[in-house]
């Protein structure tokens, strides 16, 4: 048994024990009194597609997502983010005070339109999608997609063995272990760098490893698809900045430009409601100055990647979320544990 499969088996065993003991049900009942979870998804794609082309920890399968919705509807009313904030302020809730939760999706991947939106229409479930506006309707990709392609393409390939003077390239080439662990370590190393530097490092790796990046399929939804989904009344859109830069690495002026450009683009395309436009911090990175900029720009609320539930006392510009991915939530027991903070 490989290390990845062993870890999943151990997580499943832990989840079985937690559920059998009743602790998951007790925590779920306690948390649901006065608080609500906002779930954070990224991609929803088949396992075979994820196996060689997606950053680990960034996806669930369509079957897993549908199982999540079934689980949630047994315990909650799934509402929009706007409704959740209204309920939390008033202390009320849908269906006579029933607990509620929110589904959010980061980045606006094309697989949301292909694999999630049809299911939402069939089930009548609302969701919020946060868009990096420079990527919508364009044949552009995140640097992490290029990095994933490099590491999977490197396996068994020929590469330049001569030392590279760039210390970051040296560090990446020294990574060992399963490829999914190498990718996670590489992402953690590079995300601290400015965008131009990251692309320079990836170009060096591409040359040294002899691995190109020429995807045939676009990564993100286009504006026509945005318009169709918004018209359904089920999908709301918010900002994920313009270029998806980590805001804490930018100057105050550049942060303001990222926010204003994104908001203007969403409004001009009719993609978001100017009266309630939420925001999502790229990579979950924020500080007090960034939060002040988000509020000053007129966004109604902002979500982080900080784990936890929210209540009426929560700062609406620092909302917690529950991150969801296949490795941690591929069964009802594991999903329940993740939801209440046990995994």
Question: Do residue 31 and residue 155 come from a single domain?
Answer: no
Question: Do residue 237 and residue 98 come from a single domain?
Answer: yes
Integer CA distances (angstroms), 283 to 42, 107, 110, 292, 312, in order:
12, 11, 19, 18, 25
In a domain, 58, yes or no: yes
Q: Which of 209, 233, 260 is the last residue of a domain?
A: 209
Question: Do residue 52 and residue 124 come from a single domain?
Answer: yes
Residue 203's domain comprises 143-209
Question: Do residue 27 and residue 109 come from a single domain?
Answer: yes
Question: Do residue 109 and residue 190 come from a single domain?
Answer: no
Question: Do residue 121 and residue 259 come from a single domain?
Answer: yes
Give the contacts of 31 (CB within 8 A, at least 6 positions apart). 37, 309, 340
Question: Do residue 164 and residue 133 come from a single domain?
Answer: no
In a domain, 102, yes or no: yes
Q: What is the CA radius of gyration of the chain?
A: 20
In a domain, 253, yes or no: yes
Residue pLDDT, tens place only, 243-300:
999 999 999 999 999 999 999 999 999 999 999 999 999 999 999 999 999 999 999 9
Question: Do residue 22 and residue 85 come from a single domain?
Answer: yes
In a domain, 215, yes or no: no
DSSP state letter for 164: P
In a domain, 293, yes or no: yes
Question: Do residue 160 and residue 303 come from a single domain?
Answer: no
242: helix, strand or coil: coil
Question: Do residue 160 and residue 244 come from a single domain?
Answer: no
Integer CA distances (angstroms), 38 to 72, 75, 79, 207, in order:
12, 14, 10, 42
Q: Are the C-beta atoms of residues 246 and 285 closer than 8 Å to each other?
A: yes
What is the rounded CA–CA span in Å between residue 220 and residue 224? Answer: 12
Q: Which of 177, 209, 241 is the last residue of a domain?
A: 209
In a domain, 125, yes or no: yes
232: helix, strand or coil: coil
Q: Which of 209, 229, 259 is the last residue of a domain?
A: 209
Question: Do residue 123 and residue 264 come from a single domain?
Answer: yes
In a domain, 214, yes or no: no
What is the structure's pLDDT at 1? 43
What is the structure's pLDDT at 158? 64
CATH code for the domain in which residue 246 is found: 3.20.20.370
In angstroms, the first-to-last Cα distance of the chain is 22
In a domain, 165, yes or no: yes
Question: Do residue 181 and residue 307 come from a single domain?
Answer: no
CB atoms under 10 Å from CB of 217, counted, come to 8
Q: How many structural domains is the chain composed of?
A: 2
Residues of the chain scoring pLDDT < 70? 1-8, 155-158
CB atoms under 10 Å from CB of 92, counted, come to 11
DSSP bridge partners of 60: 44
What is the rounded CA–CA span in Å between residue 2 and residue 4? Answer: 6
What is the structure's pLDDT at 99? 93
Give the contacts of 192 (CB within 8 A, at least 6 positions apart). 249
């Amino acid at each position: 048994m490989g290390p990845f499969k062993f870890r999943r088996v151990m997580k499943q065993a832990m989840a079985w024990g937690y559920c059998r003991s009743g602790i998951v049900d007790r925590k779920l009942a306690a948390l649901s009194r006065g608080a609500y979870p906002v779930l954070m998804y990224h991609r929803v794609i088949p396992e075979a597609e994820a196996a060689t082309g997606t950053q680990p920890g960034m996806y669930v399968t369509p079957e897993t997502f549908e199982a999540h919705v079934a689980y949630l509807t047994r315990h909650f009313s799934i509402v929009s983010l706007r409704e959740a904030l209204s309920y939390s302020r008033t202390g009320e809730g849908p269906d006579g005070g029933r607990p509620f939760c929110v589904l959010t999706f980061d980045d606006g991947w094309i697989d949301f339109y292909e694999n999630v939106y049809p299911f939402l229409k069939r089930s009548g479930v609302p969701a919020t999608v946060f868009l990096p506006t420079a990527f919508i309707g364009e044949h552009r990709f995140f640097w992490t997609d290029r990095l994933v392609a490099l590491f999977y393409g490197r396996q068994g390939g020929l590469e330049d063995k001569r030392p590279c003077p760039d210390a970051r390239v040296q560090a990446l080439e020294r990574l060992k272990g399963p490829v999914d662990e190498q990718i996670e370590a590489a992402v953690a190393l590079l995300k601290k760098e400015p965008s131009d530097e990251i692309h320079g490092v990836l170009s060096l790796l591409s040359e040294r490893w002899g691995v190109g990046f020429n995807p045939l399929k676009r990564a993100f939804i286009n504006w026509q698809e945005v318009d169709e989904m918004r018209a359904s009344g089920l999908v709301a859109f918010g900002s994920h900045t313009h270029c998806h830069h980590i805001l804490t690495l930018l100057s105050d002026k550049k942060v303001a430009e990222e926010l204003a450009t994104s908001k203007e683009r969403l409004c001009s395309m009719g993609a978001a409601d100017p009266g309630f436009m939420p925001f999502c911090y790229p990579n979950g990175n924020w500080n007090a100055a960034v939060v002040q900029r988000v509020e000053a720009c007129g966004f109604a609320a902002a979500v982080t990647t900080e784990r936890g539930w929210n209540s009426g006392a929560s700062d609406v510009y620092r909302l917690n979320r529950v991150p969801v991915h296949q490795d941690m939530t591929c069964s009802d027991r594991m999903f329940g544990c993740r939801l209440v903070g046990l995994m």
